[in-house]
Structure 1
């Protein structure tokens, strides 16, 4: 079993619910205001933010990304990876690949931390 330090846990991507709450609060909006702007009910926003719903439809991902000025990849995965080829973006957004993406992200963060430690020595 892989145990992570507190610092490594802090660097993990936020859950969908955490990302949505964070983005909404950063934009000083209520759940009702978000719901009105993207054309859904406030109760759906609550279900997303409570973690009851774990995956968003693509049209909702697009609307939220546009509303908050972030990438669709960030909304869907929590990792803002920049401009990737379409086939890579498609692979990342499949729910069955989430654990692979998070594993890769953890590995990259650990390697980055090791490089930084070596630079200090």
Structure 2
């Protein structure tokens, strides 16, 4: 069984479309989901520190116990915890990936955007 890791918002509206997209486009049936309200903003700001520590610990578990080498970072329209337009959210995703590149350089990172129709889009970063 091949696992990947997805760091995304807790919003229930994005769960099924996101996991279906990962399965369809990348072939992963097993996704270790790390859900945090406004995950892209939290990582971009690297705040609050205890949450960042928790995220990194969860990524480490996914890597060490499930052999995950691919990490998705996403943002979505109409996010209650990160209530800004698409462009700032895309910048948050980029900043989050830059941070994660330093913290877990051995994992491949892919940015995703879920639009207001709940369609998932791969980002060119």
Using the size of structure 2 for normalisation, the TM-score is 0.27
Greater RCO (CA < 8 Å, at least 6 residues apart) = 2
Bigger CA radius of gyration = 1
Structure with greater strand share of residues: 2
